[in-house]
Every structure is written in C-alpha cells, then in structure tokens.
Amino acid sequence: MSGLSHRLQIALYTDGSSARTPGSDLRYGCQMNPTPHLSKNEPAHSVQTIDALIVGAGFSGMYQLLCLRDKLGMTAKVLEAGSGVGGTWFWNRYPGARCDSESHSYMYYFSKELVHEWDWSERYPQQPEILRYLNYVADKFSLRPDIELNTRMDSAHFDASTNRWLVTTAGGQQYSAHFLITAVGCLSSANVPKIEGLSEFKGDWYHTAEWPHEGVDFTGKRVGIIGTGSTGIQAIPIIAEQAAHLTVFQRTANYSLPARHHPLSAEFKQYAKEHADEIYETMTTNTNGHAFKITDRSALELPEQARNAIYEAAWQKGGFQFRAEFRDLLIDSAANKTAADFICNKIRGIVHDPKTADVLADIDHPFAAKRPPVDSNYFETYNRDNVTLVDLRESPIERITAQGIQTTDREYGLDVIVFATGFDAMTGALLNMDITGLDHQTLKEVWHAGPKTYLGLQVPGFPNMFTITGPGSPSVLCNLPPAIEQHVNWITDCLRHMQENGLKRIQTTHEASEYWQGQVTDAANATLLAEVKHSWYLGANVPGKPRVFMPYAGGLGAYTVICDQVAKNNYQGFEIS
C-alpha cells in the first residue's frame, strides 16, 4: 500500500479537524464583461459571469441548480442541448421506453412536499410520465429561468490565474464560471456501430436514444432491430405488435426478468407517501439504491427445491428484487448459476420453438453481471408468427445493404433498422466536449487510457470541476435518483464549505485518484461483474475504448459513508485553497 493510500485508508474512517485557511473574497454575483478572446469573425457576445455553470438539465442538473441557487445563493446556469428538460427521458422516446426502477424509488426525495404532491400511476413509470414529472419539478421550483435550452456546451477552459472556467457554447455564447458541474448523464452518448453500408440503406434507420419526437409508424413495415440489451428488450414486444415483420439481430443473449407491470393502487400510493423516510433510508443505505434490501441468505445453503420456490415467488412478483433474494448471487459463481439456470429454464418454458429458445437461453455470462433487463412479454414475443430471431454469433452481420442487413448466412430485406445498440457509456458525453484543465491538458488526453477520478467527483488537473455520477461512482450500478441526490448534496456541502471559508479552488490530486481507481478495480474484482469482458461497464461495446471498469461496485451505502468521511476529514484527497 502506498503512503497516500494508507493515509487515505486511515483518514476515510477517522475524524479529522479542519485546518483550512480562509482565502480572500469569493464573489457570488452576475456581471457582464466584454468578451476577451473573440476574433473579428466571431459574433460579439459578452461573457456572462456566474458562480456555477451546470451542463445538462436532467435529474442531476436540475437538482444541482436548485441547491446552488436556493441553498447557497449562487448565480447558476444550466446549459441543455435539448429543447426541453429531462435529460435521458427527453431523448429516449423509443417504443416501450419505461424505467426499470419502481416509480416510488425513481424520484427525488429532497422535498417532502414534492413527494406528497406527485402521484405515479404505474409500478414502473413510462417515459412520458417521467418527463411530465421532471417538467413539473422544473415549474414547481421555478428552474426554467436559469436553464438555457437548445444550448450545447462546446468547450470549457480553466484559467488558473482567475480560478474560473471559460465556457463557450456551440452558438458562441460565453460564460465565466467559478465552478463547472457536469450533469450529462452516464448513458447519453448514443453508440451507432460502424457497420459498413449504412449510408447505402434505402429505408429509414433510428437509434433508440435519438428517437423522433413525432414517433415512428411501423405499420406494414419490415423492421430489423439490432441489440437485445435493456432497450431492445423493451422495444421488441411493442414494435412486434405493429410491424408487418420484426427481425431481431441478437449478438449476446441476455437474462431478463418479468416486470409484472401494473397500475398502482391507491393503497400503495398512500403507503409510499407515508413511508417516504423509511423508503429513502433503505435506498440510500443499501448496495443498489433500490427500495429493497438484499437478503442475508446464501443461495447455496438451501436445497434446490426450497431455493427454486424462492426464485419462483420472485419471478412471479417481478422486477429487480429477484437478484436480491440471495446475498451471494453476484459474488459466487456457484450461487449465481442457480439463478442463471432458473431463468434459462423459464426461457425454454416460455418460447415454443426449441431452436429459438436455445439461442435465447445460450447466455455467456453470469446472471446480473451485465445489467439485467426487466421486460413485459419479451420472451413471449418470439412465439409470434411475425418475429424472427437471428443469431449473430452463428452468422454475424457482414454489411448493411440498400435493401437491408446481410449476414454471413443471407440478406434480410428491411424497411426500417432500429439500433438498440446502447451508449458510449459514462465517458462518451464528457469526452464529446472540449474540456481543458491545468497546463492546457484536455480531458481526452488525461483519460486516454481510461477515466481516472477521485470518488467519481473530480478529475485531477481540472480544478473547480465536478462530475455528477462520474466514472468511479456507483452511478449505473444502482437506481440513479438516490445516487444523484447523494452527489449533488455532497457537492453542495463542499461548495458551502468553500463559500463559508472564502476558499476559491478545489482540486483533487493524482495520488488520490490513483488510490480511488485501485478501490474501483478492487470493488469490481470482488464481484462477478469483472468477469464479463464484453460489457459496457468496461467500455467493451465501443471499439477502441480503453477497457477500464468504470462504475464503483462497492455499493451506494458504503460509498456514501466514504464520501461523508472524506468531507469530515477536511476533504481528504482534495487540495482546497
């Protein structure tokens, strides 16, 4: 163990006292200054000086804005590329788009009033309902005046002499912000695989994460869908109901759990409101951020019949809770196999055609080691006459032709291709922006071998910049709203600390981020997650992306304790001046 990791290890679990020297003035106000670096050909915008600039108006950006503005009295702006708020839920409008987290856990808990006012209608909220909720939040807390829609951040450059970020938008507006906070989401940079011939395709094609707002009419169409992850598995049953024919191109077979979706009863809605504190406590102290706890029993301590009875009850109940029935499903291969076998038997029981069932149940990774989808009638859809499954492992795609998709086996004629092919996850959206920190180093350069952060909150060399649910935080391994609230609360407390002490610059160190990267790797290696070499958790779905396990697998509860200790220990691992 290096000197620093040893110190951090101790510090993370020991109280420290504050020894910060208060700096001089911190100004929190909005001023307009003449633009400094514009050439003659650039539009003459003035630079707006603000305290904080937030990128993205989804769950994270909106809550961060609220906290900075209302709790700290800061001037803050949110830049949002979309024409509306909502982030993920603004863009992902594909057929069947719904959240896999249950409604009562997929919401903000920071405002009791909001919790009591808002009623979810169904067990899992559909995309339009989540978007309505986020718009309701924007209105309720009067966030819109500080959100610039249709505004994409192009670049952000840190000026070490002023400790400020100069942010330029695609439209040429400029902001000088003391703090830059990215709230760009973990799954927001669509991954359209580079398959030869796409430009020659005569039909229409869409990526699920950039779905046309007016929808797509599949009536009478021959549709091909590539991808059987959470998105594909949601979209396939709905598209199959409309299309003349749906061909599913599957590369990797996937486990999926039935959602058992249903409208929420008045009793449940009442229960969720009355037990809001309890629910929040459960979500924020467990591993996965959901409103249920993982049981303490091992899958291997029960005889097969008793174990399968537990799986059967969870299967009938539906949802992610299935994976919480035994504590060792994600850490012990033999325990995991009991769940995997149960699900594969279910697939074979549902799908009538044995050959199709074989292709669907031929799963090459442990259960839940890739993010397990939750579905409504997914496997049942393969019993329809108008659905064909193509096994790409048997016959890979060779190219896209003018008429459809050519595999090594044959050509499939198509009118529409749907890419449910996922995202350049966790780093894609950050690296799409030109972010330049100290010594003119860009984030792209610093992360050329993979992302390195301290706690997923800061990158060394990028002072006064925070990454909400950044790589290295639990993020995608848990239900996101509680993870977002935890990050935003931590950042807000940190900035309050700086405000109160007149501090101007916070930056993490290389040592701290090296230490944390070790923790992220160790946490992944302690689970079966690290065994899957082709998962997007590792960046393996994007050719050329460095293979680094990105989210922190130690659990939201444990992570929160670590972050709180870091703050208590005088922001151990950060230099604040």
Single out the residue of 64, 67, 86, 100 in contact with ligand NAP (rule: CB under 6 A).
100
Listed residue (325, 425, 420) closest to 375, CA to CA: 420
Question: Within a 10 A sphere around the Cβ of 179, how many other Cβ atoms?
Answer: 24
Total chain residues near ligand NAP (CB under 6 A): 26
Instruction: Tell whether residue 325 is a contact of ligand NAP (CB under 6 A).
Output: no
Nearer to ligand NAP, 198 or 567 (CB): 198
Nearer to ligand NAP, 99 or 177 (CB): 99
Single out the residue of 381, 427, 541, 560 in contact with ligand NAP (rule: CB under 6 A).
541
Instruction: Tell whether residue 251 is a contact of ligand NAP (CB under 6 A).
Output: yes
Single out the residue of 35, 105, 168, 231 in contact with ligand NAP (rule: CB under 6 A).
231
Instruction: Tell whether residue 61 is a contact of ligand NAP (CB under 6 A).
Output: no
Between the alpha carbon of residue 430 and those of residues 102, 186, 228, 323, 371, the distances in Å are 28, 9, 26, 31, 22
CB of 488 to ligand NAP, least distance (A): 20
- Long-range contacts made by residues 297-301, C-beta under 8 angstroms, separation at least 24? 297/326, 297/327, 298/326, 298/327, 298/328, 298/332, 298/335, 299/325, 299/326, 299/328, 299/329, 299/332, 299/335, 299/336, 299/338, 299/339, 300/328, 300/332, 300/334, 300/335, 300/338
Nearer to ligand NAP, 193 or 197 (CB): 193
Instruction: Tell whether residue 319 is a contact of ligand NAP (CB under 6 A).
Output: no
CB of 398 to ligand NAP, least distance (A): 11
Nearer to ligand NAP, 378 or 454 (CB): 378
CB of 376 to ligand NAP, least distance (A): 11
Q: Give bridge partners of residue 389 from the DSSP assignment.
A: 248
- Contacts of ligand NAP in 449-478 (CB under 6 A): 476
Listed residue (368, 378, 371, 311) closest to 342, CA to CA: 311
Q: Measure the CA–CA gap between 369 and 317, rounded to whole angstroms.
A: 21
Nearer to ligand NAP, 51 or 391 (CB): 391
Residue 454 is classified by DSSP as: B
Instruction: Tell whether residue 98 is a contact of ligand NAP (CB under 6 A).
Output: yes
Nearer to ligand NAP, 392 or 530 (CB): 392
Nearer to ligand NAP, 52 or 225 (CB): 225
Between the alpha carbon of residue 100 and those of residues 22, 266, 461, 555, the distances in Å are 46, 21, 36, 18
H or E element at residue 181: strand 174-182
CB of 104 to ligand NAP, least distance (A): 15
Single out the residue of 47, 76, 153, 187 in contact with ligand NAP (rule: CB under 6 A).
187
Contact 401, 195 (CB under 8 A): no
At position 506, the amino acid (one-letter code) is: I
Contact 58, 92 (CB under 8 A): no
The span of 69-77, 79-87, 231-239, 299-307 binding ligand NAP (CB under 6 A) equals 231-239
H or E element at residue 510: helix 510-525
Instruction: Tell whether residue 427 is a contact of ligand NAP (CB under 6 A).
Output: no
Instruction: Tell whether residue 536 is a contact of ligand NAP (CB under 6 A).
Output: yes
Between the alpha carbon of residue 20 and those of residues 242, 497, 509, the distances in Å are 63, 10, 17
CB of 418 to ligand NAP, least distance (A): 11
CB of 113 to ligand NAP, least distance (A): 26
Single out the residue of 224, 422, 456, 461 in contact with ligand NAP (rule: CB under 6 A).
422
CB of 192 to ligand NAP, least distance (A): 9
Q: Measure the CA–CA gap between 154 and 36, rounded to whole angstroms.
A: 17
Nearer to ligand NAP, 69 or 98 (CB): 98
In the complex, residue closest to ligand NAP by CB: 229
**Residue 49 has which token pair?**
């000086």
Site string for ligand NAP, 273-312 (x = CB under 6 A): ----------------------------------------
Listed residue (24, 16, 139) closest to 84, CA to CA: 139
Burial class from Cβ neighbours inside 10 Å (0-12, 13-18, 19+) for residue 17 reads exposed
Nearer to ligand NAP, 227 or 404 (CB): 227
**Residue 133 has which token pair?**
């909720």
- Which residues form the interface with ligand NAP (CB under 6 A)? 98-100, 187, 193, 226-232, 234, 251-252, 371, 392, 397, 420-423, 476, 534, 536, 541
